[in-house]
Structure 1
Amino acid sequence: MPFYQMLCITAHYNEYRPIKELVQRTVQQVWDRGGVVRRLNSWGTKTLPQRMRRHKQYHQIGDYWTMDFDASPRTLRTLNNLMRADPSVVRWTVLKLGDKVENIVTPPSKTTPR
């Protein structure tokens, strides 16, 4: 299965619950279709580079988070549909990092100490 990284910007809320629920649904989508979530990372709340409009609302502040995962291309289409429909998602992008995790991770160098 290919290895992907998704960066997501969600609308900022005073409470963290909507973002937590979105992350749980996203992870569940990957798991239900046989994928593996390798890492979740929160980048915190940041001011957006420019005012963004999504679902007929303007946003100036967003919560950034990333997810590294292995999934099939069919699962990726399902994730894109989930992100497109969710009103709390401002922007997202998915990058294909490689065909296998082994191709991404560099093995430790075998140098001799001096």
Structure 2
Amino acid sequence: MLYEMIAVVRPGNVAEVKEIARTAGSLVLAQGGVVRGITNWGSFLLTKPVKKNQRRYDTGHHFIMRFDASPAVQELVKKTVAVDPRMVRCGVVKMGGTLREIHDVKGKVDWRRSEGGELGKSFIDGL
């Protein structure tokens, strides 16, 4: 099944974001899954402030990882990433379970600003 994990990491250090993405990707690969792509969306304001670990976050560093795995692996990845104290939020969405539903889904997730400039940059090569 194809899943999309949207993660928000505390802002400030891109190395932390890469480390969390690498950990999530390694879990998927170790359990026999496939990582289709990881896209860095960068830091921007959250829709509302989030309190976690006695801190308040107004901004967060967002990244998206698309991966193929079993439901058990998806749960493992979500639970492992969610307990990391550097994480602000994490959510996983099932994009499809059959080849017909997911055959044209790309690994990279583009997101464009209102000015027309592209924000999403893939950093999977640097992992």
**TM-score when normalising by structure 1:** 0.84
2:98 to 97, 100, 106: 100
Aligned residues: 104
% identical aligned pairs: 27
Alpha-carbon separation, structure 2, partners of 1:83 and 1:73: 16
Matching residue of 1:53: 51
State whether structure 2 residue 13 is matched by structure 1 residue 11.
no
Read off the aligned partner of 2:22 and give its amino acid letter: Q
- Runs (4+) of structure 1 moved beyond 6 Å? none
Read off the aligned partner of 2:58 and give its amino acid letter: Q
**TM-score when normalising by structure 2:** 0.76
Instruction: Return 5+ residue gaps in structure 1 as ranges.
Output: 107-114
- Residues 28-75 of structure 1: CA deviation (Å, up to 9, x unaligned): 000000000001111111011111011221111101110110011111
Q: What's the offset of the Cα at 1:11? A: 0.6
Partner SS state of residue 61, structure 2? strand
Root mean square deviation, CA, Å: 1.3
Instruction: Return 5+ residue gaps in structure 2 as ranges.
Output: 105-127
- Residues 55-105 of structure 1: CA deviation (Å, up to 9, x unaligned): 221111101110110011111111121122101111111110111344223
